[in-house]
A and B are shown apart, each in its own frame.
Chain A
């Protein structure tokens, strides 16, 4: 428990917006910027905006989740943190699970809060906003889990890792998008439930996939 708390405190200090490593506000601003640009691009037609706005918020959330990927795990592998943890008997799975929690905390809740101004910008309200918020709550843990898996798989790559991880993340996030954003058009709970189910499965897999990937990178 003590190990868990110590790791989480360090991760949050590094990842939370406004933290020492900086840059962490950028995904949030990026998210808002996409929502702000969208009405300029498609025009101010209220019906069109209201019909498509929820989907844009979802795409913006996905893109915002990609931004921090290249510094999620790679710096700690390069500077030897994972070696030191391994020698202390702290499993990579534990470190990755804690990092997953910290990664989600550093963008998930903020994206959900930022979805309020973003939905005002794209002109959705009421019931649709409700579905968007619930969908993001169900979907962002899954986005964080995909991000962690990709960050751990691309850990050994020198340079170019950032663009590649973004490229890898998009197809893997398609199921979440289909059910998450799809629940907007059906307005049903089944889409939200499926989004949550995919998220849970991804969160359960991520620590093991990530741990194995980091160990494999060390052997090389």
Chain B
């Protein structure tokens, strides 16, 4: 039995310094929904994700989140000096994941497990973060630019994973300035809510 999940925000506003990045933003995602958030750099995509994750307080409005949540952003949260396999093992232990191999194979990381994290390329680092996401078994995925630095093959792997996740009753919210194939093809253009 999957735990139920839902992500709703009403009348959100975000202020950074003196600037209001967006306001009156409402959204509701039910189990199985996916949403792409688009907008140029600096329109508040990352801030929206952090607000939805509960890591940042909204200037106004409320977020209602049911279900376990995972975030993938530019911050890797892996020990740079450790080999990738051991850096990921730390999170596998915390998440109680017993079958990490499937995720590693899907993201083609199996050959990199002995490489220290600091030597990984941008795309490889992104794939490592996504491997942690898969092993975490969370219901709500908040992804900030998950396609950055990925080659075509990895990109289609990510799209397939997102389809699988939403097909299994999960929720995905993806902030990306580049096109990404999501189930349902919903999207939200953040500059529409500017100021």
A interface residues (Cβ-Cβ under 8 A, vs B): 2-3, 6, 10, 14, 20-21, 78-81, 83-84, 86-88, 90, 218-219
Contact = CB atoms under 8 A, between A and B. Distances in A.
B77 A86 contact: no
Contacts of A84: 71, 77, 91
A72 to B, nearest CB: 15
A167 to B, nearest CB: 28
Interface string B50-68: 0001111100000000000
Given A81-B77, A83-B55, A83-B77, A6 B94 contact: yes
Interface of B: 53-57, 69-71, 73, 75-82, 90-91, 93-95, 136, 138
A6 B138 CA distance: 20
A80 B56 contact: no
Contacts of A83: 53, 55, 71, 73, 75, 77
Given A3-B94, A10-B90, A86 B55 contact: yes
Contacts of B53: 83, 87
A73 to B, nearest CB: 14
A143 B176 CA distance: 46
Contacts of A14: 79
A2 B168 CA distance: 29
A194 B93 CA distance: 41
Contacts of A81: 77
B77 A88 contact: no
Given A79-B78, A84-B91, 5 more contacts: A86-B54, A86-B55, A87-B53, A87-B69, A218-B55
23 contacts: A2-B93, A3-B94, A6-B93, A14-B79, A20-B81, A21-B81, A78-B75, A79-B76, A80-B75, A80-B77, A83-B71, A83-B73, A84-B71, A86-B55, A87-B55, A87-B70, A87-B71, A88-B94, A88-B95, A90-B94, A218-B56, A219-B56, A219-B57
A90 B94 CA distance: 10
A43 to B, nearest CB: 45
Nearest 9 CB-CB pairings of A with B: A80-B75, A80-B77, A84-B77, A6-B93, A81-B77, A20-B81, A87-B69, A83-B55, A6-B94
Given A20-B82, A218-B56, A79 B77 contact: yes
A80 B73 contact: yes
Nearest to A89: B68
Contacts of A3: 94
Nearest to B80: A79
Contacts of A86: 54-55
B192 to A, nearest CB: 26
A78 B77 CA distance: 9
A53 B8 CA distance: 65
B115 to A, nearest CB: 15
B86 to A, nearest CB: 9
Query: Which residue among A6, A84, A86, A88 has the maximum number of chain B CB atoms within 10 Å of its CB?
Result: A84
A80 B79 CA distance: 11
Contacts of B73: 80, 83
Contacts of A21: 81
